Amino acid sequence: MTQPATPAQQDAPAAPATSAPDRSGARPPLGFRLDVRNLSLLGVLAVLIAVGGFTKPDEFLATSNLQLVLTQASVIGVVTVGMTFVITSGGIDLSVGAIVALASVWATTLATQEFGFAGILFTAVVVGLGCGLVNGLLIAYGGMVPFIATLAMLASARGLALQITDGRTQMVTVESVLDLGVRDAYILGIPPLVLVFAAVTLVGWLILNRTTFGRRTVAVGGNAEAARLAGIDVRRQRLYLYLLSGLCCGIAAFMLIVLAGSGQNTNGNLYELDAIAAAIIGGTLLSGGRGTIVGSVLGVLVFTTITNIFALNNLESAVQQIAKGAIIVAAVLVQHRTLRGAD
Amino acid sequence: MPVPSRRGLLFGTAAVSAGALLTACTSNEPKKSDDAAADKAPVADDKPGKAVTIGFAGPQADHGWLNAINQNAKSRAEKYSDVTLEITEGSNDTAAQIGQVQTLINKKVDVLVILPADGKALTQVGLQAMKAGIPVVNLDRIFASPQAYRCWIGGDNYGMGLNAGNFIGEQLKDKPDAKVIELAGLDNLELTKQRTQGFDDALKNYPNIRKVARQAADFTVESGQAKMAQLLQAQSRFDALWNHDDDQGVGALRAIAQAGRDDFLMVGGAGAKSAMDAIKAGNSVLKATVLYPPTMAASAIDLARALGQGKGVSGMAELEIPASLTLYSAVVTKDNVDEYLPTGFN
């Protein structure tokens, strides 16, 4: 699993500066670059694929399984892209799972479903944005610590979701929404949800690596005071970041509605932890100032692949959880070891 | 939590009230499904008797079946003019529920009905109530000590598995080398183990059938979809599926439809209305569901009322209500679905 040291050393000087807040318009080098952390994650993924292919060659390597793994990674993947931005800025969003739940149940109420496909999509996105707005206002302008503000949102959004559903499962009856999840809707063999995931990833990568907004996000996370002195409106930047996370949750909620064909207040359970874990093993610093979309997506894929391999081999859920924990530790340890050589 | 700033407070209040307003606007009232079936079976006598205050403490209704439990208890209590129901906020937190039961004891209710989040953990508070002279009707999840309750009423988890297994066994008995798979519920609940045990014991009656896979979901639609999708990928051919819970079954059916599979029969569990509708329509793999009826909550209110009034159960020779009642896990199929449909919960 250990990566050769050469690419690491080449990579290190060009890696995004973590402490220099504003690079006054200096564009990062064009062209796609995989840094050492991503390479080690790719290594983990390769090992997992080898394990899957070895234990269950027929089932694991089938096209239908690839489609399944990517589909299952899609919902949490979109949430993780938003989370990566927030963590990069030095914040945290504990409310993502609750926002997904609230958006998904609000979008599937009988009243909303009367407006069909557009009504469901619109409601999911607006509820996501609305929750993100409240988070952002509380944190950026209300001066609340992100941990506390989003914890409060976690509690109240889940509560509201429970109140709306009254504990019931709200079945979706809009055929055009349900149709998006079935095989007939695949485009060139790719499920539409996976395409949404890919699009969100691409847009997220472009924003973080190729725009002023992205550089400001890194700057705020690296040193908020320095960023403020450099002329960045830190508060507005924070507001936008939580809005962005809320938007991702809204999109994810719609994807979950397509996948599950229903809205339930238990939706998105523990997404916050999964998204944080994926971002962290992807190489985003929990203290802020460094974030990688590619790493986060690889992190999500690692977790989904593990789940898939375990299910194919019919392992118990207790064993699955233990192994998941072990792999988080292993992935981070591998990164640290590789990085010690690099930095 | 630290004291929020004035502005923070203002935003928070605005957000919460906006949310509340919006909830009120987007109404979500499904068509009324009154527990018509629960009304059919009168217990003791329906004529008003001595006034009884019943304290009800249940878990948080974040799941279709648990919600139906609360609804059944409430509407049954409303039916009796001599019953006052003191209901606490449901909670999945053991410590919080203990506090709620203690509050009901302090209020000196006449009888307690308790559906504990965890039966073992609430045994002590059950004992407290009994010592305080308040008889306890223990609903569903059983206390660790018989001294902690006067009467237990609940479902038969082992029987669910047994009846599901026997139903599947009868369907597949002429099929050599038949394969079945199991989509279980939350693995850290005692009831999940009992359901699986019953299922496995039933399958022993049919040597031609082999259980080839078992995965545990979380009783949620989302987990049902995800785990079922994996199972379908892992098992290219099997003949029957037993799913422990109809709520997660919504997700399982979705995964089955998404994979375009229809080469097996599926048996659900609990008795949700959506499952019964699907059985009745007969256009999916779902052919049966094994009941775990939430009407037990209405029966618990009946028993609590009889206890409070010192009466027995009509139709039985005994002067007192029984110490324990286990419901039957009937198998609902297309043939008898009309009979059970009114008990189906949303």
Q: What is the pLDDT of residue B15?
A: 52
Closest approach of B68 to chain A, Cα-based (Å): 9
Q: Cβ contact (<8 Å) for A142 and B11?
A: yes
B243, B267 Cβ separation under 8 angstroms: yes
Task: For residue A182, list chain B residues with Cβ-Cβ distance below 8 A.
Answer: 257-258, 260
Res. A152 pLDDT band, cuts 50 70 90: very high
Q: What is the pLDDT of residue B314?
A: 79
- Tokens at A174, concatenated: 């809009």
* Residue A22, domain member (yes or no): no
The CATH number linked to A176 is 1.10.3470
What is the number of domains present in chain A? 1
Mutate which of B196, B221, B245, B286 to test chain A, going by most A C-beta atoms within 10 A? B221
Q: Rounded to an integer, what distance in angstroms lies between the CA atom of residue B325 and that of residue B244?
A: 22
ipTM of the complex: 0.81
Count CB atoms within 10 A of the CB of residue B176: 7
Closest approach of A228 to chain B, Cα-based (Å): 21
Paired strand residues for A190: A187
A269 at interface of B, judged by CB pairs closer than 8 A: yes
Q: Rounded to an integer, what distance in angstroms lies between the CA atom of residue A129 and that of residue A137?
A: 12
Pairing of strands A170-171, A262-263: antiparallel
Closest approach of A116 to chain B, Cα-based (Å): 15
Closest approach of A145 to chain B, Cα-based (Å): 10
Task: For residue A307, list chain B residues with Cβ-Cβ distance below 8 A.
Answer: 230
Among B15, B67, B346, select the one facing A134 at the smallest CB separation: B15
* Residue A7, domain member (yes or no): no
Q: Cβ contact (<8 Å) for A256 and B222?
A: yes
Helices of type H across chain A: 5-11, 36-55, 57-60, 63-88, 96-107, 110-113, 116-136, 146-165, 175-179, 192-210, 212-222, 224-229, 234-260, 271-282, 293-312, 317-342
* Residue A252, domain member (yes or no): yes
How much is the mean pLDDT over chain A? 87
Closest CA to A97 of A325, A323, A256, A221: A256
Displacement of CA A244 from its chain's centroid (Å): 12
Please write the tens of the pLDDT for every residue from B174-196.
Answer: 999 999 999 999 988 889 999 99
At residue B112, φ and ψ (nearest 5 deg) are -115, 135
Q: Cβ contact (<8 Å) for A112 and B257?
A: no
pTM value? 0.83
Q: What is the pLDDT of residue B8?
A: 53
Task: For residue A235, list chain B residues with Cβ-Cβ distance below 8 A.
Answer: none
Task: For residue A312, list chain B residues with Cβ-Cβ distance below 8 A.
Answer: 230, 233-234
Topology, domain B157-291: Rossmann fold (3.40.50)
Whether A153 has a pLDDT exceeding 70, the answer reads yes
Whether A8 has a pLDDT exceeding 70, the answer reads no
CATH number for region B52-154+294-314+321-327: 3.40.50.2300
Q: Which residue of A has its CA nearest to B14?
A: A134
Which domain range does residue A218 map to? 36-342
Task: For residue A314, list chain B residues with Cβ-Cβ distance below 8 A.
Answer: 212-215, 234
Give me the residue label for tokens 């207790």: A318
Res. B6 pLDDT band, cuts 50 70 90: low
Res. B10 pLDDT band, cuts 50 70 90: low
Paired strand residues for B54: B85, B111
Task: For residue A144, list chain B residues with Cβ-Cβ distance below 8 A.
Answer: 4-5, 8
Q: Which residue of B has its CA nearest to A165?
A: B28
Paired strand residues for A171: A262
Q: What is the pLDDT of residue A173?
A: 93
* Residue A1, domain member (yes or no): no
Domain residue spans of chain B: 52-154+294-314+321-327, 157-291
A308 at interface of B, judged by CB pairs closer than 8 A: yes
* Residue A4, domain member (yes or no): no
